[in-house]
Structure 1
Amino acid sequence: MIEVNELTKRYGGTTAVKDLSFTVRPGRVTGFLGPNGAGKSTTLRLLIGLNRPTGGTATIDGRPFRDLPRGLRHVGALLDAHDIHGGRTARAHLSALARSNGLPGSRVDHVLDEVGLAAAARRRIGGFSLGMKQRLGIATALLGDPPVLLFDEPINGLDPEGVLWVRGLFRRLAAEGRTVFVSSHLMSEMENTADDLVVIGRGQLIAAESVTEFAARGTRSNVTVRTPDPAALTDLLTAEGADVTTRPPAGDLLVVTGLGATRIGEVAHQHRIRINELTTGSASLEEAFMELTADSVEYGTGDPR
């Protein structure tokens, strides 16, 4: 289990993390979300002892990472797939880590096979693609068979098969009772993979709850409308202040936000436009995230800085 309590980190006059508290429990995949500059990477670095906190605590199963002997047996982490010696082979890299953590050499072959790099074990890492480096980073995290795993943007550079593999891997690790903490900007992946979310902005906690609960906090619900006259209805609903998008391939399906189903039905009836389907839905995870973190975005689109 991961426990963060009143965690604060300052760099000179800049506060990267401020009074941050949350818990990541075993047996679940927990997504770690926030806009750029929110303090996610700093928090992960504080968790594994790469930085020291200005205040508060960050512990793994009740202890700071620096107090855990042979750390890879307790925590596996992928923070930066590029932060690795390019002149070494994948096998040499993992073998050195295994020896320094008192792990059997058989673990090297096991994790290389698990991440799909067995055939590339003797290739130099400098020639690896980003996707291969991500797989090697995941292998490194799994090397000590740890109960706690941290991943920072693990899907970057992976092809569709790799994304599906990682999604299944995280679910399996959680099903084994491990604590899986994943930082990502990909809302679709969090929606498909995570059970819980920790969301921060400007170094402070915004939410710590299930994916379903967080998505339900978004106020911009949508209404799906199917009509044989989508162009005319779009013009009418836009005039009412709604946002309307057309969903392919048929083009007769509209997704409307900013206007309720009752009003949509009234407008269609007044103008004799037939409606074949009218369904109210909740805000997506992405919509809820954009809405609830709007005040925490440091560099938004069009920002002159």
Structure 2
Amino acid sequence: MIEARELTRRYGSKTAVDSLSFTVRPGVVTGFLGPNGAGKSTTLRMILGLHTPTSGSVTVDGRRFRDRPRGLRHVGALLDAGDVQGGRTARAHLAVLARGNRIPLPRVDEVLSEVGLAAAAGRRIGGFSLGMRQRLGIAGALLGDPPVLLFDEPLNGLDPEGVKWVRGLFRRLAAEGRTVFVSSHLMSEMEHTADELVVIGRGALIAAESLTDFAARGARLSVTVGTPDRALLTALLLSAGAEVREESGLLTVTGLPAARIGALALEHGLPLDQLTTRTASLEEAFMELTADSVEYPAGDAR
């Protein structure tokens, strides 16, 4: 479990993380979302003891990470897949990590096989593609078989097969009772990956809840309606207090549920070709709820 309490980090007059409190529970995949510059990477680095909080605290299973010897046995992390020595082979890179954390060396080949790099174990990392480096970074996170795992943008450079594999990996790790915390800017990917969300903007907490609850409190539900007499139905819906707009020959209605729209149409003898409730996507909810937290929105003249 990861617990942040009033976690704050300032750089001079700039506050990167602002009184941030959240809990990441074991047994589920928790997505960590926020616009660029929201403070996600700074928060992850404070969890790992790489940055010291200005105030507040963050613990992993009740202790600061920096107080734990042989850290890879407790927390595995992928922060920057490019932050490796390109002249080393994949096996040598992981062997250095294993020795420093007193992890048996046979574990190196186990994780290389698990991430699909067994055939590339003897190749120098400098010749790896971005996707291969991502897989190597994930192997490093898995090396100590830790109960807590952090991943920062783990899907960068992965092909569709790799993305599918990572989704399955995160699900499996969570099903084993581990704490899995995944930072990403890909909202659509979180829809397929995460159970819970921690969403921040300008360093402050926006939401910490289930993915379903977050999407539901974003853009309002709408109903798509098809009818041969759009003008009459529009007038009826407006008089009932709904908001209506026409798109591609269909009506998009907010403010009335589908059952009420159907009842109005039936009452006035209007046939309906379509009556579909549409829920907000995670991306729509994210864009709406973080709109005021984007550091440099498009069109900003600064």
User: What is the match of residue 290 of structure 2?
Assistant: 293
Q: C-alpha root-mean-square deviation of aligned residues, in Å?
A: 2.7
Give the TM-score of the pair, scaled to structure 2.
Answer: 0.89
Give the superposition deviation at 1:37. 0.9
Q: Indicate yes or no: 2:280 matched with 1:302.
A: no
Q: Indicate yes or no: 2:278 matched with 1:281.
A: yes
Kindly provide the CA deviation profile for residues 39-84 of structure 1, in whole angstroms up to 9, marking residues without a partner as x: 0000000000111110011111111111010000000000111111
2:285 partner amino acid: A
Give the superposition deviation at 1:188. 1.6
Give the superposition deviation at 1:32. 0.4
User: What is the match of residue 106 of structure 2?
Assistant: 106
Which moved further from structure 2: 220-229 or 88-97? 220-229
Are the equivalent residues in 2 in contact too, given 1:261–1:279 (CA < 8 A)?
no
Question: Which blocks of at least 5 consecutive residues in structure 1 are unaligned?
Answer: 247-251
Residues 1-305 of structure 1 aligned to structure 2 (within 5 Å): 1-226=1-226, 256=252, 258=254, 260=256, 275-305=272-302
Identity score, percent: 73
Are the equivalent residues in 2 in contact too, given 1:220–1:257 (CA < 8 A)?
no
Secondary structure of 1:291's aligned partner: helix
Are the equivalent residues in 2 in contact too, given 1:222–1:255 (CA < 8 A)?
no
Compared with structure 1, are the counterparts of its residues 228 and 117 closer, same or farther at alpha carbon in structure 2 (3 Å cutoff)?
farther
> Aligned partners of 2:57, 2:204: CA distance in 1, in Å?
15
> Aligned partners of 1:255, 1:173: CA distance in 2, in Å?
44
> Aligned partners of 2:245, 2:88: CA distance in 1, in Å?
53
Give the superposition deviation at 1:256. 3.0
User: What is the match of residue 249 of structure 1?
Assistant: none
2:286 partner amino acid: F
> Aligned partners of 2:56, 2:80: CA distance in 1, in Å?
25
> Aligned partners of 1:219, 1:188: CA distance in 2, in Å?
16
> Aligned partners of 1:228, 1:127: CA distance in 2, in Å?
61
Give the superposition deviation at 1:220. 2.6
> Aligned partners of 1:148, 1:157: CA distance in 2, in Å?
24
Give the TM-score of the pair, scaled to structure 1.
Answer: 0.88
Compared with structure 1, are the counterparts of its residues 224 and 183 closer, same or farther at alpha carbon in structure 2 (3 Å cutoff)?
same
> Aligned partners of 1:104, 1:296: CA distance in 2, in Å?
45
Are the equivalent residues in 2 in contact too, given 1:224–1:281 (CA < 8 A)?
yes
How many aligned positions are there? 294
Question: Which blocks of at least 5 consecutive residues in structure 2 are unaligned?
Answer: 236-241
> Aligned partners of 2:173, 2:115: CA distance in 1, in Å?
14
Give the superposition deviation at 1:282. 2.2
